[in-house]
Amino acid sequence: MKLLVTGAQGMLGRAVVECATRLGHDVRAATRAELDVTDAEATRQALLAGRPRAVINCAAYTDVDGAESDRQGAERVNAGGAGHVAAAAAEVAARIVHVSTDYVFDGSKREPWLESDPVAPLGVYGETKLAGEQAVAEANPAHAIARTAWLFGDGGKNFVDTMLGLGAGSDEVSVVTDQVGSPTWTGHLAGALVELAERPSETGIHHIAGAGACSWNELALGVFERAGIDCRVLPATSEQFPRPAARPAYSVLGSERRDPLVLPRWQDGVARYLATRVAV
């Protein structure tokens, strides 16, 4: 299948390109320098020239805290850019798989969030990603919106790498216990996104994240244990580490779909990711 991946130089985009290529698809990897999704006409011309059968949109403004002081920048990519890609894909009869986030929820539940649950973002990042979901759905009926969470992988800043760096240089770290989610390795998520691109009948919203749930504190413990790092992980609260953007206290993703795409456990994702780091 002829496949276009936007945001191909980012952490998730790289994994998607690698996975799709390995599976034998004809992949065009479009980096931000090659395709600025905030430019509607440039996006349209790129798809008219390439005419893919499907697009996986990994282009995103992902600085959660930065978005609080740069709403316009976040909106241009997460809302406007998503709409441009979806509209251009519709013009060439291409399916779009768009990546969204658990941060569209307010974290008030204590059981996994389902696709039909009411959305109520706590910050600008979540608001702009939700606007992107809506823009994609309006612009292209042949869409699949994949909400995911707590990504880590090669080629981008992520919590696992941060912990590995801190653990190597400290005897102890303090990590919050009052934020719970579904850590997701990009290597696992990439395969699910490519599978969504291959399934034209799978439309609407999909929740796809690492199986299971943990706090950031528990994730740090799991990383250190797997990496063999001797570093204590102390409990902390979000109030002890004030950030510009509020985070949902509980954003674990579940699915009400009859045949959901289920990823391996988050612990397996950590193990696979650490194995790739050692191999490199």
* Residue type, position 31, single letter: T
- Written as six digits, the tokens of 180 are 């719970």
Question: What does the alpha-carbon distance between residue 55 and residue 145 come to, in Å, rounded to a whole number?
Answer: 12
* Residue type, position 227, single letter: A
- Written as six digits, the tokens of 115 are 């696709």
With beta carbons less than 8 A apart as the criterion, state whether 188 and 263 touch: yes
Q: Annotated catalytic sites, by residue? A: 125
- Written as six digits, the tokens of 203 are 């439309």
Question: What does the alpha-carbon distance between residue 223 and residue 226 come to, in Å, rounded to a whole number?
Answer: 5
Phi, psi torsion values for 60, nearest 5 degrees: -160, 155
Q: Which of 214, 220, 146 lies closest to 181, judged by CA?
A: 214
Q: Which of 73, 87, 82, 193 lies closest to 139, judged by CA?
A: 87
User: How far is the first Cα of the chain from the last one, in angstroms, to the nearest whole number?
Assistant: 30
